[in-house]
Amino acid sequence: LPVFLPDGVKNIKTESESGMSTKDSLLLHLKTHPGSWVSGESISRDHAVSRSAVWKQIRRLREEGYTIESSTKKGYRLLESPDLLLPQEIRDGLETRVFGKNEIHHFIETDSTNIRARELAEKGAPEGTLVLAEKQTGGRGRKGRNWHSPPRGGIYVSLILRPALSPAESPKITLLTAVALADALTSISPLEFRIKWPNDLLIHGKKIAGILTEMTTEMDRVGYIVVGLGLNVNTRHFPASIAKTATSLCLEAGEMFSRVQLLRVFLTHFEERYTSFIHQGFEPVLNRWKDLSDIIGKPIRVDMIDGALVGTVQDVDADGVLLLKDDAGNIHRIFSGDVILT
Ligand code: BTN
């Protein structure tokens, strides 16, 4: 899949969009006639706008990276769409009910989509709100680490959730996200994906995605949860410090992927798992998670903020908490940490 990057795209700023603007409906019109000419006259008639308004919207679409040919006699035709995570591209063919159906906020560049999502959540953004960036200048990983976020290399997305859960149940959301992502990727690629507790997705032992879940609490309830996902899609080069441990879909599969399509597939799996979790409980997610992570029974070391623990993984309990049995036979409940196989 060619990744087409238009000149000047860095200068445009796409804002959150809801409802269908003239630009969106014009784009839809062009997309439903792929490769063929659509006259300016018919567009202006169908959309009840002037010819010059049509021209203005065509110019905006070009600025966003669409290749649109024009001819005074024949009108316009769409030749290529950009591989940018533009709201209108994501919405086109998105099969969810809530996720990505309301607000989508897209940034060509931002420090961290999780930070943007938290700001929006504080202002009341509804469940299913998406925040996307083509590039992050301060992408955040767990434990204050940085998430390598080169332009258009990966999917850097944060989703706002407002589940009626107790804060103790929030680790389940991270596990659920990892399962949904593994399922989504498995549906489009024959590669074998594994989950490393709690939130890493691996191919051939190298990390391809990470999840950073942040939440607020109100009394004994979750206020909102921001699920931040970083997925290395078409990135080919990683900084030396992570070059041995990080990989991307493109590097593993030997081909490039459409990030828009991947995101849509992920959102569908994610919403399905989330809805079933809220209505039917966590067990199916947990079972799938156990299939995908081959950690149970393995000897590991867990590095935590206050030191390390060594032992054998007994299980992951119904809340998504890791149960580690140390040499003395004591069971430790571990909520978060870095797992190293020993
Ligand atoms: C980790 O494995 O340490 C978690 C990495 C999470 C990275 C994603 S990218 C989108 C979102 N915005 C951020 O700043 N971080 C998350």
- 19 or 186, higher pLDDT: 186
Residue 232 reports pLDDT greater than 80: yes
State the pLDDT at residue 149.
96
Do 65 and 4 touch, CB atoms closer than 8 A?
Answer: yes
Note the pLDDT of residue 7: 33
> How close is the Cα of 52 to the center of ligand 1, in Å?
43
Distance 209 CA to ligand 1 centre (A): 9
Contact 176, 285 (CB under 8 A): yes
Provide mean pLDDT across the span 307-324. 90
User: 3 pLDDT exceeds 70?
Assistant: no
What separation in angstroms does the CA of 102 have from each of 136, 138, 155, 215, 229?
Answer: 23, 26, 19, 21, 19
Residue 17 predicted with pLDDT over 80: no
Q: Does the pLDDT value for residue 148 go beyond 70?
A: yes
Pick the closest to residue 294 from 316, 327, 309, 325 (CA basis): 316
User: DSSP string covering 128-183, please?
Assistant: T-EEEES-BSS-B-GGG-B----TTTEEEEEEEE-----GGGTHHHHHHHHHHHHH
- Mean pLDDT within 47-69: 90
Ligand 1 centroid, distance to 136 Cα (angstroms): 10
Per-residue pLDDT at 280 exceeds 90:
yes
Rg (Cα) of the chain, in Å, rounded? 22
User: Would the pLDDT of 166 be above 70?
Assistant: yes
Judging by beta carbons within 10 Å of its beta carbon (0-12, 13-18, 19+), is residue 304 exposed, middle or buried? middle
Pick from 111, 140, 207, 242 the residue to mutate for probing ligand 1's pocket: most ligand atoms within 8 Å of its CB. Answer: 140
User: Which atom of ligand 1 has the smallest separation from the CA of 149?
Assistant: 9
Q: Is the peptide bond before 239 cis (omega within 30 degrees of 0)?
A: no
Rounded CA separation 342/321 (Å): 20
Average pLDDT taken over every residue of the chain:
89
Residue 1 has pLDDT above 50, yes or no: no
Report the pLDDT averaged over residues 158-171: 93
Over residues 101-139, the pLDDT tens digits come to: 989 999 989 999 999 999 999 999 999 999 999 999 999
Confidence of residue 20 (pLDDT cuts 50, 70, 90): low
- The DSSP letter of residue 191 is S
Query: If you measure from the C-alpha of residue 117 to the centroid of ligand 1, how many angstroms do you get, rounded to a whole number?
Result: 12
- Look at ligand 1, atom 10, and give the residue with the nearest C-alpha: 156
Ligand 1, atom nearest to 154 Cα:
9
Which atom of ligand 1 is nearest to 136's Cα? 14
**CB 71, CB 39: distance < 8 Å:** no
Residues with CB under 6 A from ligand 1: 112-114, 136, 139-142, 145, 147, 156-158, 199-200, 210-212, 228-230
CA of 115 to the centre of ligand 1 (A): 10
Closest CA relative to residue 152, chosen from 89, 100, 207, 83: 83
Tokens of 174: 């991270």
Angle (nearest 5°) at CA 89 between 203 and 152: 45
Please name the amino acid found at residue 190.
P
131-145, 177-191, 316-330: which has the minimum mean pLDDT?
316-330
CA 227–ligand 1 middle distance (angstroms):
9
